[in-house]
């Protein structure tokens, strides 16, 4: 079994590169045949992945965060390759949701053990795959701010800062969504199609979502006052926001979403497209290395 390891040198403020020695020691000790590729850019990583798909490399391992996993999955979905993750990003929600340890040596041991699971993926507009959660509305504006903020804050704190900053000027908008033969309009803050429970550094927006269920857990945050939102928001880290009457969760394997406002769609923290968008479940589409 041959393994190619992609190190994003900008992940974790450069600490991903510093972890190289630990990774090599673990993989060599486990008898893995491997090589390490230091990515020069996103395009370089994608080109290198594609070049290795026809080869005898089995494991494609990313060292980075949810974005690194996102792009690996988009290239390797529906192949016979396995995806692995050594989490060193800002939020690491994909790793948290899959039980992958955040400590470098322990996550390397997961790769070396070779155990994998077939996981569902979300697919947007029949083109873009995602592992974790896709959303539009308030949270997509938060993602945009979090990805572009120049303040020296990292991890979940950056996302929390962006939530409250966005809330200052945000107004609920009209959404139209269809699923299971139903079409509904409502004024709300955001809609997410979740394949896993948490995003944004541990926000359990859909606490019962599973990438092995064959369905999305769709979470709708309906129109609410800013004061009420401030009261509800902290509960999301424990998944207790679902008890609020302005929060609705339902399950479906396909959702079409549009809005009167030109909202972006983000998935796994990455910009995907503008609304309208159709979200579908692609069952068992990726083989992922897990504990």
Residues 47 and 165 both lie in one domain: no
Q: Are strands 182-194 and 116-124 parallel, antiparallel or unpaired?
A: unpaired
Q: Which of 114, 147, 181 is the C-terminal boundary of a domain? A: 114
| Residues 6+ away with beta carbon under 8 Å from 266 | 134, 135, 136, 139, 140, 143, 144, 272
pTM flag (> 0.85):
yes
pLDDT confidence tier of residue 207, bands split at 50, 70 and 90: very high
Residues 35 and 138 both lie in one domain: no
Report the pLDDT value the prediction gives residue 141, as an integer from 0 to 100.
85
E strands within the chain?
2-7, 33-38, 57-64, 82-87, 116-124, 128-130, 133-137, 173-179, 182-194, 216-222, 247-252, 254-259, 264-267, 270-274, 277-289
Cα separation of 235 and 196, whole Å?
A: 18
pLDDT at residue 103 greater than cutoff 70: yes
Report the pLDDT value the prediction gives residue 86, as an integer from 0 to 100.
96
pLDDT at residue 142 greater than cutoff 90: no
Residues 101 and 166 both lie in one domain: no
Is 120 part of any domain?
no
Residues 240 and 168 both lie in one domain: yes
Residue that has been written with the tokens 């697919």 in this structure? 123
Least confident segment among 12-26, 51-65, 266-280: 12-26
Report the pLDDT value the prediction gives residue 16, as an integer from 0 to 100.
79
Q: What is the residue-averaged pLDDT of the chain? A: 92
Q: What is the CATH number of the domain that holds 243?
A: 2.60.200.40
Q: What is the CATH number of the domain that holds 7?
A: 3.40.50.10330
Report the pLDDT value the prediction gives residue 151, as an integer from 0 to 100.
60
Tell me which residue of 222, 200, 63 sits closest to 132, measured CA to CA.
Answer: 200
Tell me which residue of 221, 54, 214, 227 sits closest to 136, measured CA to CA.
Answer: 221
Is 222 part of any domain?
yes
Q: What is the mean pLDDT of residues 132-158?
A: 77
Query: Residue 28 is part of which domain span?
Result: 2-114
Residues 178 and 87 both lie in one domain: no
The pLDDT tens digits for 221-268 are 999 998 998 899 889 999 999 999 999 999 999 999 999 999 999 999
pLDDT confidence tier of residue 166, bands split at 50, 70 and 90: confident
Residues 272 and 140 both lie in one domain: yes
pLDDT at residue 172 greater than cutoff 80: yes
Residues 16 and 84 both lie in one domain: yes
Check: CB of residue 110 under 8 Å from CB of residue 84: yes
Please state the domain count of the chain. 2
């Amino acid at each position: 079994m041959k393994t190619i390891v992609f190190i994003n040198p900008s992940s974790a403020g450069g600490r991903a590169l510093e972890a190289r020695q630990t990774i090599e020691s673990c993989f060599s000790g486990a008898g893995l045949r491997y090589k390490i590729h230091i990515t020069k850019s996103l395009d370089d990583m994608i080109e290198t992945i594609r070049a290795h798909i026809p080869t005898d490399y089995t494991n494609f391992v990313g060292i980075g965060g949810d974005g690194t996993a996102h792009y690996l999955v988009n290239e390797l979905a529906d192949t016979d390759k396995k995806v692995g993750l050594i989490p060193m990003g800002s939020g690491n929600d994909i790793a948290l949701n899959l039980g992958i340890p955040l400590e470098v040596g322990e996550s390397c041991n997961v790769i070396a053990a070779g155990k994998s699971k077939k996981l569902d993926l979300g697919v947007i507009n029949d083109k873009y795959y995602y592992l974790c959660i896709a959303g539009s509305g308030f949270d997509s504006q938060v993602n945009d701010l979090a990805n572009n903020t120049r303040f020296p804050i990292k991890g979940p704190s950056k996302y929390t800062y962006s939530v409250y900053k966005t809330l200052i000027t945000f107004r609920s908008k009209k959404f139209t969504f269809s699923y299971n033969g139903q079409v509904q309009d409502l004024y709300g803050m955001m809609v997410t199609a979740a394949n896993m429970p948490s995003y944004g550094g541990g926000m359990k927006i859909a606490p019962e979502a599973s990438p092995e269920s064959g369905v999305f857990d769709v979470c709708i945050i309906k129109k609410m006052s800013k004061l009420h939102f401030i009261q509800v928001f902290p509960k999301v880290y424990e998944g207790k926001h679902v008890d609020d009457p302005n929060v609705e969760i339902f399950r479906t394997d396909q959702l079409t979403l549009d809005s009167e406002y030109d909202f972006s769609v983000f998935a796994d923290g990455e910009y995907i497209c503008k609304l309208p968008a159709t979200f579908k479940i692609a069952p068992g589409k990726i083989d992922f290395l897990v504990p």
